[in-house]
Chains A and B, each alone.
Chain A
Amino acid sequence: MNVLELKDVTKKYGEFVAVEGVCLEIEEGKILSLLGPSGCGKSTTLRMIAGFTTPNSGTVAIAGENVDHLKPYERNVGLLFQDYALFPHMTVEQNVAYGLRYRGTPKPMIPSRVQQMLSLVRMLGMEARYPSQLSGGQQQRVALARALATDPQIVLLDEPLSALDAKLRLELRIELKEILRSVGATTIVVTHDQEEALSLGDEVVVMHAGKVIQRGSPIEIYKAPADKFVAEFVGRSNWFCATRRGRSSGDLSSYITSNGIEIRTRSAPTDRRGSADLCIRPEHIELMDVTQGVVSDEPDQNLLEGVVVDVAPLGADVHVVVDLPGETRLQVIRKNVGRIPTVVPGQPVRLCFAASDVLVFPT
């Protein structure tokens, strides 16, 4: 059953449309990532679910029941704010117990529930501390314990990790997923970080300018982005503006860029002539030395030549920047495993990528 259903929800601030016709539903126990750039209406969407903002039109239903007329405290929604919003004048224990107190948990049962929650987020022994005496990561855990304590029907996390530094963010991300799974919480997690969205969510919803652009599994979002915006926002990408050449053989098409570079693609959407934005992921490009063997020009492969401008060895990956003739610059990412031949700036190289890896977005 769908725990949450948004139907055609729109929110305007004056003339400005912050959220436009958003439809969302989420099944019990699933984690949904709401991904989009800053200002695209993610927080507004969460606030409408929690009841702090009233939609101009559309309906919100929780567990099949329309909640439009319910105040925030009448909805059983757990909320984790970006800045945690822990009560600074209460101890960790009082913070976690707060919701239990007001949601009518019998008094004698509160302490054991608080202990259970603190053990879940591995914060036992910190009961008597005040939020100001905790690190950012610890505050985040307490806020999560507080939000989960009342066993809410749906948990909303607004940029839960963005206030933490990079290393802690990765650690807590894994832990967060583990905790949410272990309690079986139905969750919407809002983020502008694609890595977070793809790693946390069973499904990802991409928003842009107040609208839902695409919904799919993390793999689908990456492999088959619905439009140029999603392709650019999720993962890294190289772009070419190109015009379709008349002939195509089988399901292969051929495009030519303004700099005269030919790029073969598979499954172009239409067979009329026209221009398109072509996208190739840096990790799909292979790099070869020009002297390396004889090159056979297979029709379903693209073969380009260029000169290395920059090599950045970033641990697991090596990022290489290659200039093609005519001021086109490409990013190439190679895994730093096995025996990879080293390249140096100034070195002429061949680039190779499959036609099926090129994404085509007609313009």
Chain B
Amino acid sequence: MRHFKSQLLLLLPAAAVYLFFLVLPLWTVIAESFRTFTPGRIGAVAGAPLTVKNYTEFAGPVYATYFGQTYVLAFFASVIAIIIAFPVAYYIAKNASASVRKIWISALVGLMFLSALVRIYAIELTFGSVGILAPFMSFVGVNMNGTAYINIIIIVGLLHYAIPISILIMIGAILNLNPRLTEAAQSLGASAIESHLSVTIPLCIKGIVSAFLVSMTFGVSAFAIPWILGRGRVQFISNIIYSRFSEVSNYPSGAAISIIMLVLSLLMIFIISRIATFFDRT
């Protein structure tokens, strides 16, 4: 009994922080999202009438584009990150010696600590419309102001973070893999590639899905990357939320769009986890 009490005590600080700084503000956002907004004011008036208009406003095709841009670009970035990161993670986990592995991991963690803004401006200065590659791009006939090009540059920006985090997550999954399994597969006639496709990848599915979800969460909530690299041509939901709160002070609308995003993301995590569990037979 005393044991139980002391365990509760251990949870207390976390519970307090969680309630006070996460649940309470979230509740405020939900409450705000159902208030009527009078243009010109800053946020909703206290006691303003309740409405769902803030939500129905986003049903239109304009907003579908924003949601589409956000989720599709984040999706592609996450998938590309997995494809690039998996072989690297495999190499680091299986072939590198313990000390080389440490160097890799430190380098990857360091890469993630590099300021996001620095990296984004570095990309802009290299691949942007006035970047050092601009003459070359116009020479080979790439329209640097086209939406397609901007989309690609945004994906590149997202990959800067998604690749290292995916590698780090998948190293763990691959390290846990019994090396005898791929050997068993190869002794049964499967080539190196075949044994990875039929054994390694299915058994790492949890790690792959985790990496995907983390990259996806990061991508969907990205703000500075679409803001700077999108140059107003491509906007993510975060940019819309920001403009609702800071530029037009329509708090109820900003709150509603945040809630929609939260629900969409939870739904995505739920569905993907279900799919992963279905495939994970271990």
* A interface residues with partner B (beta carbon < 8 Å): 50, 52, 71-73, 75, 77-79, 81, 83, 85-90, 98-99, 102-104, 130, 132, 146-147, 150
CB atoms of A98 and B190 under 8 A apart:
yes
Q: A83-B178, A98-B190 in contact; A89/B185 too (CB < 8 A)?
A: no
CB atoms of A72 and B281 under 8 A apart:
no
Interface residues as binary, B163-190 with A (CB distance below 8 Å gives 1, 0 otherwise):
0000000000000001011011111111
Chain B: minimal CB distance from A355 (Å): 50
CB atoms of B282 and A89 under 8 A apart:
yes
Contact of A77 among B185, B187, B199 (CB under 8 A): B187
Contact of B281 among A50, A85, A90 (CB under 8 A): A90
Contact of A79 among B178, B187, B199, B203 (CB under 8 A): B187
CA distance A147 to B183 in the complex (A): 12
CB atoms of A132 and B189 under 8 A apart:
no
CB atoms of B280 and A81 under 8 A apart:
no
CB atoms of A73 and B190 under 8 A apart:
yes
Whether, in the assembled complex, B194 has its beta carbon less than 8 Å from a beta carbon of chain A, the answer is yes
A132 neighbours in B (Cβ, 8 Å)? 282
Q: A85-B180, A89-B202, A102-B194 in contact; A146/B188 too (CB < 8 A)?
A: yes
CB atoms of A87 and B185 under 8 A apart:
yes
CA distance A72 to B188 in the complex (A): 9
CB atoms of B184 and A87 under 8 A apart:
yes
CB atoms of B183 and A103 under 8 A apart:
no
User: Can you name the residue of chain A whose Cβ is closest to the Cβ of B182?
Assistant: A85
CA distance A157 to B199 in the complex (A): 22
Contact of B189 among A52, A83, A90, A103 (CB under 8 A): A103
CB atoms of B190 and A85 under 8 A apart:
no
A-B contact count (CB 8 A): 71
Contact of A89 among B178, B183, B281 (CB under 8 A): B281
CB atoms of B183 and A85 under 8 A apart:
yes
Query: Number of B residues whose C-beta is below 8 Å from A?
Result: 22
Interface residues as binary, B258-282 with A (CB distance below 8 Å gives 1, 0 otherwise):
0000000000000000000000111
CB atoms of B203 and A88 under 8 A apart:
yes
CB atoms of A50 and B185 under 8 A apart:
no
| Given A72-B186, A75-B187, 12 extra CB contacts under 8 A | A71-B191, A73-B186, A73-B188, A73-B191, A78-B187, A79-B183, A79-B184, A81-B180, A89-B203, A102-B191, A103-B188, A146-B188
CB atoms of B281 and A88 under 8 A apart:
yes
CA distance A130 to B281 in the complex (A): 8
Q: What are 23 A-B residue pairs whose CB atoms fall within 8 Å in the complex?
A: A50-B187, A52-B183, A71-B191, A71-B192, A73-B187, A73-B189, A73-B191, A77-B187, A79-B187, A85-B180, A85-B183, A87-B185, A87-B199, A88-B282, A89-B199, A89-B203, A89-B282, A102-B189, A102-B191, A130-B281, A132-B282, A150-B188, A150-B189
CA distance A114 to B186 in the complex (A): 19
Chain A: minimal CB distance from B152 (Å): 36
Nearest 5 A/B pairs, CB to CB: A99-B188, A102-B189, A85-B180, A103-B189, A89-B281
CB atoms of A71 and B180 under 8 A apart:
no
Candidate in A75, A78, A89 with the most chain B CB atoms within 10 angstroms = A89
Chain B: minimal CB distance from A86 (Å): 8
A78 neighbours in B (Cβ, 8 Å)? 187
Candidate in A50, A87, A88, A103 with the most chain B CB atoms within 10 angstroms = A87
Chain B: minimal CB distance from A88 (Å): 4
User: Can you name the residue of chain A whose Cβ is closest to the Cβ of B203?
Assistant: A89
B190 neighbours in A (Cβ, 8 Å)? 73, 98, 102
CA distance A147 to B186 in the complex (A): 12
Chain B: minimal CB distance from A151 (Å): 12
Chain B: minimal CB distance from A98 (Å): 5
Chain A: minimal CB distance from B186 (Å): 4
Chain B: minimal CB distance from A120 (Å): 17
CB atoms of B187 and A98 under 8 A apart:
no
CA distance A110 to B202 in the complex (A): 22
CB atoms of B189 and A99 under 8 A apart:
yes
A104 neighbours in B (Cβ, 8 Å)? 189
B203 neighbours in A (Cβ, 8 Å)? 88-89
CB atoms of A85 and B184 under 8 A apart:
yes
A85 neighbours in B (Cβ, 8 Å)? 178, 180-181, 183-184
CB atoms of B185 and A98 under 8 A apart:
yes
B202 neighbours in A (Cβ, 8 Å)? 89
CA distance A73 to B185 in the complex (A): 8
CB atoms of A89 and B280 under 8 A apart:
yes
B188 neighbours in A (Cβ, 8 Å)? 73, 98-99, 102-103, 146, 150
CA distance A103 to B190 in the complex (A): 8
Chain A: minimal CB distance from B181 (Å): 5
Contact of B180 among A75, A83, A89, A98 (CB under 8 A): A83
CB atoms of A72 and B178 under 8 A apart:
no
CA distance A150 to B282 in the complex (A): 25
B185 neighbours in A (Cβ, 8 Å)? 87, 98, 102
Which B residues, 188 to 245, have Cβ-Cβ distances below 8 Å to chain A? 188-192, 194-195, 198-199, 202-203
Chain B: minimal CB distance from A109 (Å): 15
